[in-house]
Structure 1
Amino acid sequence: MKKIIITCLCILIAGNAFSQTLNSKRLDSLFTLLEKNNKYMGSIAISENGKTIYTKSIGFDDVASSKKSSINTKYRIGSISKTFTATLIFKAIEENKINLNQTIDKYFPTVKNSKTITISNLLNHRSGIHDFTRNEDYLSWNTQFQSKAKMIERIAAGEIDFEPDTKSEYCNSNYVLLSFILEDVYKKPFGEILAQKITKPLQLKNTYAGKKISLENNECYSYTSDNGKWKKENETDMSIPAGAGAVVSNPTDLNLFLEGLFAGKVVSIAHLNQMKTIKDKYGMGIFEFPYFERKSYGHPGAIDGFRSVASYFPNEKLALSITSNGIIYDNNSILLCALSSYFNKPFKMPVFDIVSVTEETLNLYTGNYGSSQIPFKINISKKDNTLIAQATGQPSFPLESTAINVFKFDAAGIVLEFNSEKSEMTLKQGGKEFLFKKE
């Protein structure tokens, strides 16, 4: 489950040199800097050949009581849940309970196009079913329990976004329905199926279907930044995301899961290969992340104030997972630091000093900007001597100045560089640059 400010344009980027010696001092320095400046709360684990070679945790499980996080803290992992759900679907296929090409009308006769939508279409986001998390009223009921019947009713009420198997579009509804199919064929709740088929066999002691957050169970609350202070986020009721986003875990367990999955310990290698086959950007519960000539496989996740990512490099047998419950500095930049530390590439440490810019100069940068490279436009406005950016259809966010013409938003790894003489603005994110012209 995720709502993001500007879609991350590139999950992983870096270099092509290789080293099996992790520069742990670099990672330690980054986390010390983030903790000192109160820019991040979360945990990371890195493993190689099945052995953990680095872990770190900073921040708080509960800011109000100053309960510190640890490597044992468990986080809501959002859409990484989809990788678990897709794995369970292939497990059900191996046990001859379902097949990829069967239509879903048997389970959901009220869902539009259910007679032509297949389980395969749900897995790789080619169903055309509308994503209920994009509904305007979603945040008015997402903290309240929803029965399975009510969730099916909500999903069935949505309009069809496109005809089945004609295109791909990321959709949480797909994986909620997949988890209901699993419950139907196994006659058990999703959490019990998850435990029986994955977490117990792989000895994942910190991974399960979540309920209400429990600090006593080493779980943590999530937070967003409010003028540099952590503001506690509301809790999505876990009856809603189900197999699309209701799993709780931590980085060490996520690495163990990916290692077990890619070793053929959960489903066959043939079925794993189906999961990681990309069609129009999406696999079946798995994304492909390029890292120069290398490829890793995994999934990002976001729910409430939680952000996470899990990634596995099969050739290097390298697993990296990050789970966070409060970000001002984005997970993608932390991943880049971790990968550069492993593959022996340069990494530029963040600078958190803020430069004062006059109101007259800020006025030069305000306006609407468009680009021929990407479809959305960005409006730059000013409030209380602070620049505010808002992309088409997205929430607004404040910018911090690092130079007289350079501004950043660390939570999404965004840098905006202005050239008022040319009426231009350059967006930098994920190692990519996009030129915008003032309209």
Structure 2
Amino acid sequence: MKKIIITSLFALFITSGFSQNFNAKRLDSLFQILEKNNKFMGSIAISENGKTIYTHSIGFDDIATSKKSTVNSKYRIGSISKMFTASLVFKALEEKKIKLDQTIDIYFPTVKNASKITISNLLNHRSGIYDITNDSDYLSWSAQFQSKVKLIERIASGQISFEPDTKGEYSNSNYILLSFILEEVYKKPYGELLNAKIIQPLKLKNTYLGSKINLEKNESYSYTFAGKWEKHKETDMSVPLGAGAIVSNPTDLNIFIESLFAGKIITPENLNRMKTIKDNFGMGIFEFSYFDKKSYRHTGGIDGFRSILDYFANEKLAIAITSNGVMGYNNDNILLCALSSYFNKPYQMPAFNTIEIPENTLSQYLGIYKSAQIPLKIEITKKEASLVAQATGQSSFPLEPTASNIFKFDPAGIVLEFNAEKKEMILKQGGNQYIFVKE
């Protein structure tokens, strides 16, 4: 017994040492650089053993009224919502409302392969169901209310990507359908279920199913940068539902994931099911590595909002980042700074050098480009003194120059290299290169 006590005290001492040695000044310096250079707007919270050890916010909830962001600001968290939805599905399993191996044809008879697709396949993205966010006209209707009937119709009309359970491929449609299944088995709206089974038990003060953005509730608008921050249009939250419609803030997100791993939401057995990775997909959760450390996480993106939620179980370390404006420095880079500050690893601070390109040079790159390698067109336009790119059916994004003919969009890891004489553009992303020719 004495040996156990000493060991426990030693472990406590070691764990406490991490937070005591946490390099808060490094993160403070990073946020000062980002704010000065208009590279980021958002918030971060870091928690260890259930106690917050660092928070910071920069930017504005609303630029028009100069309303500054604070630790109480709330953000649309996008696909981190899927982690909440997966937890609700496992609650339904524990309450014997559903079975993971049951097929979904009793709920969605019009969806292709519904008699072969299981709830489990929806959870770990192995259904092959068409992702409606890939619709070429998605942006034309995503800001408008969509009924359950209409969303199911849109999902059912899409072509299947593969046969069920033969591989994994991310699809927002999976979690929209899971939301409808939860509403069906409980006979309650998704928002009520979320509130009753997760928000109230965990006493989350800043988390709920979103609707139209309301500044009076400390919610923030989202922005894109094209010479200046410009407000992004809002997706109607009837569209993503449990796939991406939750509003929260970093402190609440940390409480949620700490509670999930502490067995306060679902059983350890079902948490292990969530954590089981197959073809890179868990059930509402992913893995992430930092040197020899491993975390469980989800990321999110909707409109101009981007978010990350990571939990390092061995260290009981939770990190949440929510942003409502990113230009040239994405959330992953901020996460790496936070992790280096905690684990005492090296980190290179960014240096932002402004490159001014003559207007006549920029004008040479304008136009619509198509590629023989991928079925995607990209339109390059100019806004003030900056280039803006927009791919078919997707939101536009600003381009930052790194040379007179080379531009980047860091949040997506995109580099565009132009050759005005050949009327060519090379897109580089994820180690791949695609040649585009101006129409």
- Report the AA paired with residue 207 of structure 1: T
1:184 counterpart residue number: 184
Q: Does 1:40 align with 2:40?
A: yes
C-alpha deviation, 1:398, in angstroms: 5.4
Q: Structure 2 matches for 1:186-205, cutoff 5 A?
A: 186-205=186-205
Distance in 2 separating the partners of 1:193 and 1:136: 32
Deviations 1:105-126 (A, max 9, x none): 1111111111111000000111
By how many angstroms is 1:438 displaced? 11
In the alignment, the residues of structure 1 paired with residue 398 and residue 113 of structure 2 have an alpha-carbon distance, to the nearest angstrom, of 42
- Please report how far the alpha carbon of residue 276 of structure 1 lies from its aligned counterpart in structure 2 after TM superposition: 1.0
Segment drifting more, 379-388 vs 238-247: 379-388
Distance between the aligned counterparts of 1:435 and 1:109, measured in 2?
Answer: 41
- Give the secondary-structure state (helix, strand or coil) at the position aligned to 1:197: helix
Specify every segment of 5 or more residues in structure 2 that has no aligned partner in the other structure, as ranges: 1-16, 419-425
SS of equivalent residue, structure 1 residue 201: helix
Partner of 2:277 in structure 1?
278
How big is the shift at 1:355?
Answer: 3.6
Aligned equivalents of 1:43 and 1:96: distance in 2?
Answer: 38
Q: Which residue is 1:206 aligned to?
A: 206
Deviation at 1:228, TM superposition (A): 2.4
Does the 8 Å contact 2:275/2:283 carry over to 1? yes
Q: Which residue of 2 aligns with 1:294?
A: 293
Count of residues in correspondence between the two structures:
413
Query: In the superposition, relative to structure 1, how do residues 292 and 212 fare at CA in structure 2: closer, same or farther (>3 Å)?
Result: same
Whether the aligned pair in 2 keeps the contact of 1:312 and 1:319 (CA below 8 Å) is yes
Counterpart for residue 81 of structure 1: 81
* 1:405 Cα deviation after fit: 8.6
1:91 lines up with 2:91 in the alignment? yes
SS in 2 for 1:289: strand
Q: Distance in 1 between matches of 2:233 and 2:195?
A: 27
TM-superposition CA deviations, 1:113-152 (whole Å, max 9, x none):
1111100000011111101111112111111111112211
In structure 2, what is the Cα distance between the partners aligned to 1:390 and 1:117?
34
- Residue in structure 2 matched with residue 147 of structure 1 by the alignment: 147
More helix per residue: 1 or 2?
2
Structure 1 segments unaligned to the other structure (5+ residues)? 1-17, 419-424
Verify the 8 A CA contact 2:172 2:240 in the aligned structure 1: yes
Amino acid aligned to 2:101:
N
Cα offset, 1:412, TM superposition: 3.5
Query: After the TM superposition, which residues 369-388 of structure 1 pair with which residues of structure 2 at under 5 Å, given as runs?
Result: none
- Equivalent positions of 1:118-197 (< 5 A) are 118-197=118-197
**Contact 1:333–1:413 at 8 Å: present in 2 too?**
no
> In 1, are the aligned partners of 2:136 and 2:393 still within 8 Å (CA)?
no
Q: Which amino acid in structure 2 is aligned with residue 313 of structure 1?
A: F
Alignment of 1:295-314 (within 5 A): 295-314=294-313
Kept after mapping to 1: 8 A contact 2:136/2:392: no
What residue is the counterpart of 1:229 in the other structure?
228
Partners of 2:142 and 2:387 in 1: how far apart?
Answer: 31
Matched, 1:257 2:225: no
Match of 1:114? 114
> 1:119 is aligned with what amino acid?
I
Shift of the 204–393 alpha-carbon distance from structure 1 to 2, 3 Å rule, reads closer
Q: 3-state DSSP class of the match of 2:269?
A: helix
For the residue of structure 2 that corresponds to 1:338, the secondary structure is helix
What amino acid does structure 2 have at the position aligned with 1:246? A
Q: 1:386 offset after TM fit, Å?
A: 7.1
CA distance in 2, matches of 1:350, 1:428: 21
Q: State the secondary structure of the residue aligned to 2:168.
A: coil
**Superposition deviation, residue 409 in structure 1:** 3.0
C-alpha distance in 2 between matches for 1:402 and 1:139: 30
Contact 2:137-2:393 at 8 Å conserved across structures: no
- Quote how far apart the aligned CAs of 1:298 are: 1.2
Answer whether contact 1:143 1:237 (CA < 8 A) is retained. Answer: yes
Deviations 1:379-415 (A, max 9, x none): 9989799788888997775543456797543443556
| Residue 32 to residue 385, structure 1, CA distance change in 2 (3 Å) | closer
Ranked by relative contact order (alpha carbons within 8 Å, sequence separation 6 or more), the top structure is: 1
Could you tell me whether the CA contact under 8 Å between 1:376 and 1:392 is conserved in 2?
A: no
How far apart in 1 are the matches of 2:139 and 2:391?
Answer: 20
TM-score by length of 1: 0.84
Give yes or no for the alignment of 1:335 onto 2:335: yes
Q: Alpha-carbon deviation of 1:343?
A: 1.2
Secondary structure in 1 matching 2:353: coil
Judged with a 3 Å threshold, the aligned counterparts in structure 2 of structure 1 residues 138 and 406 are, in CA distance, closer, same or farther, namely closer
In the TM superposition, residue 212 of structure 1 has moved relative to its aligned partner by: 1.1
- 1:352 counterpart SS class: coil
Deviations 1:10-57 (A, max 9, x none): xxxxxxxx9542111011111111111222111000001111000001
Note the alpha carbon deviations across 1:343-376, whole angstroms, 9 max, x for none: 111211122222457899999x99x9x9xxx999
- Equivalence for 1:315: 314
Q: Quick one: structure 1 residues 203 and 393, their matched pair in 2 at CA, closer, same or farther if it must change by over 3 Å? A: closer
Cα RMSD (Å) of the superposition? Answer: 3.4
Q: Map Cα deviations across residues 307-354 of structure 1 (whole Å, 9 max, x no partner).
A: 111010000100000111111121111111111111111211122222
Distance 1:36 1:293, change over 3 A: same
Q: Distance in 2 between matches of 1:217 and 1:387?
A: 35
Give the secondary structure class of the aligned counterpart of 2:153.
Answer: helix
